[in-house]
Structure 1
Amino acid sequence: MTLLAFIFLLALLPAESASSRYPPKAAISSPVFGPQQVYGLLNGSVTVKCFYPPTRVNRHDRKYWCRQSATGCMTIVSSSGYTAPGYQGRASIIDYPQAENFQISMSELTMADAGTYQCGIGVNGRGLSHKVSLEVSEGPHVPEGAELFYVKLHSTLTMTCSFGEAYVSKRKFLCKMVKSGCHNIIDSYGNIDKYYTGRALLSNEETPGSFSVMITQMDWEDSGLYLCGAGVYGESGETKELDVHVYEEANVPQGKPTIFGVKGSSVTFECHYGARKTSSVKYWCKWRQQGCARIIDSSGYVSNLYEGRVAMYDNPDNKTITIILNQLKDSDKGYYWCMAEDKKEQQSSTELKIIDGEPGLKGKKEVEVQVGSQVDLTCSYPCKYYSYQKYWCKWSSTSCTPMPASDQKQPGPDVTCDTDNKTVILSFDSVAKTDQGWYWCGVKHNGIFKETMAVYLWVTEGELQGKGRQGLSCSSGLGIMLPSAERKVLSISTSDTAVQSAANSESSGQSHGPNTLVLSLSCVGAVLLILVTAFAVFKYRQLKRSDLVSVGSYRTNISMSDFENVKEYSASNNACMKESQETQIGGDEFVTTTATPESAAETKKAKRSSKEDADLAYSAFLLTSSSIAQGGCSGDDTAPAVSP
């Protein structure tokens, strides 16, 4: 039996060692907290500040300052108006309920004032008190006491230390006093205690040589005496004492310290904040050793890396903020902080761990559609969400706006979850460019946000109508001058491309041109008109005369009227040639041709067959078409005249 008891005691030794390093809640005897040691000069004064939990009873209860002796604790001064004889005029007490503390001042100190005192609430000796040791010296220097920090359980502690410009390049650190020395918590070299990983953050302040340390999720074991310093503890540099006390406030909800998220799915974080300054900016950040990278805040800021992935919902009624993070990946694991710009508000940290698994909500993650088309965004859910509220919303940096969606499940006694169509659809009848963006499908239960799935809708420009007209074509190279005030030139090709029009309008307010039917009819009519006119002119001149032309020693039956027709229809490489123009035939010989019949050497009626007539008419048509396609003479904007 003795051996078993000995083994049991040995098993308890490591636990006791850990408890001595980080004292548990039981080691904190009273919720009233103050300095353990204060110093005063002879004939000088001293001020003691004591903190208490901000309950309604504590705010209105009696505060006192008493001196401890072997027989009890004699009251020196109290908030009820009592002051002990010998202390009148030199001892006072003031309560600051909003600041959650009261202060005691003693002046005209004597050596007899040194001793042990208590600051407390209620009746002397009932436990709601804190012991303070007063030391009086002749000076000239008074040791600096520890700075006090009274922190609520699970809230955030911020400590600032300043050592001047001489220590700008020195190592900055925070350590906690234990029996074996000062255990390092965090330093500027990137070292951090495992117990404080994800909870502690050291950052430099604007003032040279100054830095701050922030610790979230304060626990009972975080109470104790700390040292912040520049240099190396016990070897070089300077240090400052920081006395931290953790107290518990009733009815304060706490978030989960660790949550698990399935890769590809989503997680929900909940942050609680106090009643003070509810209008201050709340933000959510990811912890790193050198800082906390802001992801989203209540002012509408969202980091570019998290666009479409994170949303924040504020609920002032229960003083909570809900953050949803979806599209989870391995790199998302880590510690996330709920923060507020007002440092007095409650702040917390939560660890996120990513695990493998299947997301509950499934659907296409990207959908691409053209403007004006119809599209359905679908989201299927498992049976565990069958009774949950389903929704679709459009994501933005400030909110996720709910959109009307339809749940495809069929009501009825014979319908079960396994056989039902478990799909939620967001429909667009005619997609606009402004509809492009992130859309979330999600589920809620009892007003609490659960899983979400993100979908990105791409909206592309479709085939635009009205930029061209299809299917309109005429003869290759045919240009038509429309006899209208608008004076538009139509370039018509045999391809299936649209007809392009170049406006040469006299007024900028005129319309862009006739419709396709009018253009087609105009094109066909113009071609027919040219053919008929060419044939009629040809027949008329043929009946009038037929001349033989002598070109050098060469005699031919080509009539002078044929030359005139060619000239009149501008059938040459230069449609703007003069009435008389020299043309080189060969060698140094030149023949001058004129448009007048008097210049012909001989005139003679020429007889041609009907086939020759048709060939000549067709040649005249081709020559005329080629001339008009070249756009006429430079400086001339009128169509070539057709001789009657």
Structure 2
Amino acid sequence: MTSLAFLFLLAWLPAASAKSRYPPKATSDPVFGPRQVHGVLGGSATVQCFYPPTPVNQHDRKYWCRQSGPRCVTVVATGFVAESYRDRVSLTDHPEAGNFQINISALGPGDTGSYQCGVGVNGRGLSHGVALSVVEAPPVPEAAELFYVKLRSTWTVSCSFGADTVDMRRYLCKKEKEGCRNIVNSYQEIDEDFKGRVLLTFEETPGSFSVTMTQMDWEDTGLYYCGAGEYGKEGKSKELDVFIYEDKNFPQLKTTVTGKTGSSATFECLYDPLKKSSTRIWCKWRVQGCDKIIDNTGYVKYTYEGRVAMFENPENKTVTVILNQLEAKDEGFYWCMSNELKEQQSSAELKVVEGEPGLTGEKEVEARAGSRVDLSCSYPCKYYSYEKYWCKWNYTGCPVQPAQEQSPPGPGASCNTSARTAVLSLEPVTEEDEGWYWCGVRRGGLFGETMAVQLRVAAGSDAKHSPELLDVGDSSRGSGAVPQGGSYSDAEVRKGAAPESSEESHSSNTLAMVLGPLAGLILVVMTAFAIVKYRQLKRSDLVSVGSYRTNISMSDFESVRDYSASNSAYGKDSQETPVGGD
């Protein structure tokens, strides 16, 4: 019994894994059109059918035929109209758009029936069945809106239900046997299987909204309803018929990107280089919307400065976005968005795993203006044959310049494990050179891993060095021996200050010899001045000799004392308040 269960499991697993790789039976025929078309007696009906726009299909015969038992009788085809339908049936092909249109006028009761639209030979080529019904009077059921969507591309639909639905719940659901399965709604409720790849956005017109879904797969084929209110209960709704087909020329982008903590991740986005007006945006998906990180106009979210850059590759119609300095919180879904060509919008999931980055080096470098600085990063042997580059990051990109390799590969060269470094030299470095620099590898035009380095440039002399402390210490200590930061420990300061005691004593004696005669001279002048004032005092009582003499002594001798204090080896003049101050 156990062996039978095991065999059943083996048989089931391949089928389950292939579920998304192969089209379901219902979608194996790539021609697509409406399931049912309604018309009014005496009126007209229009049928639009889609086909893969390959060169063969574009030039092949298109037809509209009526099912009659096992046969399908041609009503109209490329260059042909059945006699009984002349002047009321026409077929118009639009090969550049990959569809053709059938118009039927003067509808009668006999036009009700089963038809096929197709490419090639009736019954042998590619076809799609359509049921046509003719009613006597309106109203007729509203036809479903058709969407012919490429596999792995993006589908966008706009729905509008009027200003009276502004306060109602907006939604998109998929029709299933048990009802309509909610995909996304304006209450930020999203089906688990669609998280990260669907967005509901309100539009400017009141009551209007759009839904964008990326990574369209075979299972996404089916009937959907967008609406306001509750499906099947109240409000308004619109039927959407979505068909997935495979275009082998459509680029298949990665849906999952993996990066290591501290390293970088590279994302590819599609864009049409001929659309110069197109705005390209890269954002992080959230339930409430998509948080813009960078675009091609020079915008970079402030928390991502130095971390993210956008590179346009017109030759292969892609935009490369690189995010470095990865952290665990960077995990999530990222979207490439554009204001044109909605099908080229895409999404990818980022997973950040633990591990050592391939590119390593000093992440923060400080230099003094006018000096030389070398920015370097080491790479492993797996990148030996890659092109190495450095670039200076800015808001519009990171202009690439080839790196100087200490051991460039040559003919027959092998990886030298002792010299695998790419260097960017700046000499002399200026204040304008300050900023973020990236070291990276690429091959065949495709960008690989990157490492970010932040360069800080100090102007002139280093502001962190104290002039008083730099002159203190053993004369045998060279200027290059100053510890980074320009400061010593307390022990070093005391050791350097001890020899100054004899010089202080000598300075004090010299000062005394100078001030002695000066004080005598001042005393003589003051005595003479006092005698004159005394004689004046006898004639007037307006001036106080005592207070005047006191002011003179305070100003003269206070300045002398301050001068003596400023010569202290510890330079505390700026920290002391002179006697008599506030």
**Pairwise mapping of residues 48-127 of structure 1 onto structure 2 (< 5 A)?**
48-80=47-79, 82-127=80-125
Amino acid at match of 1:374: R
Distance 1:374 1:311, change over 3 A: same
Amino acid at match of 1:438: W
**Pairwise mapping of residues 335-346 of structure 1 onto structure 2 (< 5 A)?**
335-346=333-344
For the 8 Å contact 2:156–2:342, the answer to whether it is kept is: no
Larger radius of gyration: 1
Aligned-pair CA distance for 1:254: 0.8
**Residue of structure 2 equivalent to 1:162:** 160
Moved more, 23-32 or 193-202: 23-32
Secondary structure, counterpart of 2:58 in structure 1: helix
Distance 1:123 1:333, change over 3 A: same
For the 8 Å contact 2:154–2:212, the answer to whether it is kept is: yes
> Runs of 5+ in structure 2 lacking a partner?
469-520, 541-555, 561-582
CA distance in 1, matches of 2:6, 2:367: 77
For the 8 Å contact 1:34–1:48, the answer to whether it is kept is: yes
> Runs of 5+ in structure 1 lacking a partner?
471-561, 591-621, 627-644
Moved more, 127-136 or 230-239: 230-239
Aligned-pair CA distance for 1:141: 0.6
**Pairwise mapping of residues 69-468 of structure 1 onto structure 2 (< 5 A)?**
69-80=68-79, 82-273=80-271, 277=275, 280-403=278-401, 405-409=403-407, 417=415, 419-463=417-461
CA distance in 2, matches of 1:462, 1:320: 44
Aligned-pair CA distance for 1:271: 2.2
For the 8 Å contact 1:273–1:345, the answer to whether it is kept is: no
CA distance in 1, matches of 2:212, 2:205: 17
Normalised by the length of structure 1, the TM-score is 0.69
Identity %: 58
**Pairwise mapping of residues 7-26 of structure 1 onto structure 2 (< 5 A)?**
8=8, 24-26=23-25
Amino acid at match of 2:233: E
Tell whether 2:533 aligns with 1:583: yes
**Pairwise mapping of residues 465-614 of structure 1 onto structure 2 (< 5 A)?**
583-584=533-534, 588=538
For the 8 Å contact 2:156–2:343, the answer to whether it is kept is: no
Secondary structure, counterpart of 1:86 in structure 2: helix
Highest relative contact order (Cα 8 Å, sep 6+), 1 or 2? 2
CA distance in 2, matches of 1:400, 1:12: 50
Aligned-pair CA distance for 1:147: 0.4
Distance 1:412 1:118, change over 3 A: closer
For the 8 Å contact 1:405–1:427, the answer to whether it is kept is: no
For the 8 Å contact 1:217–1:347, the answer to whether it is kept is: no
**Residue of structure 2 equivalent to 1:642:** none
Aligned-pair CA distance for 1:116: 0.8
Report the structure, 1 or 2, having the larger helix content: 2
Distance 1:412 1:216, change over 3 A: closer
For the 8 Å contact 2:155–2:343, the answer to whether it is kept is: no
Distance 1:403 1:585, change over 3 A: farther
Secondary structure, counterpart of 2:148 in structure 1: strand
CA distance in 2, matches of 1:351, 1:306: 18
How many residues are aligned here? Answer: 491
Secondary structure, counterpart of 1:584 in structure 2: helix
CA distance in 1, matches of 2:6, 2:410: 69
Aligned-pair CA distance for 1:298: 2.7
Distance 1:165 1:14, change over 3 A: farther
Secondary structure, counterpart of 1:452 in structure 2: strand
Normalised by the length of structure 2, the TM-score is 0.76
CA distance in 2, matches of 1:266, 1:258: 14
Tell whether 2:8 aligns with 1:39: no
For the 8 Å contact 1:388–1:445, the answer to whether it is kept is: yes
Distance 1:358 1:154, change over 3 A: same
For the 8 Å contact 2:384–2:409, the answer to whether it is kept is: no
Aligned-pair CA distance for 1:128: 0.8
Amino acid at match of 1:117: Y
Amino acid at match of 2:58: R
Deviations 1:551-582 (A, max 9, x none): xxxxxxxxxxx99xx9xxxx7799xx9xxx95
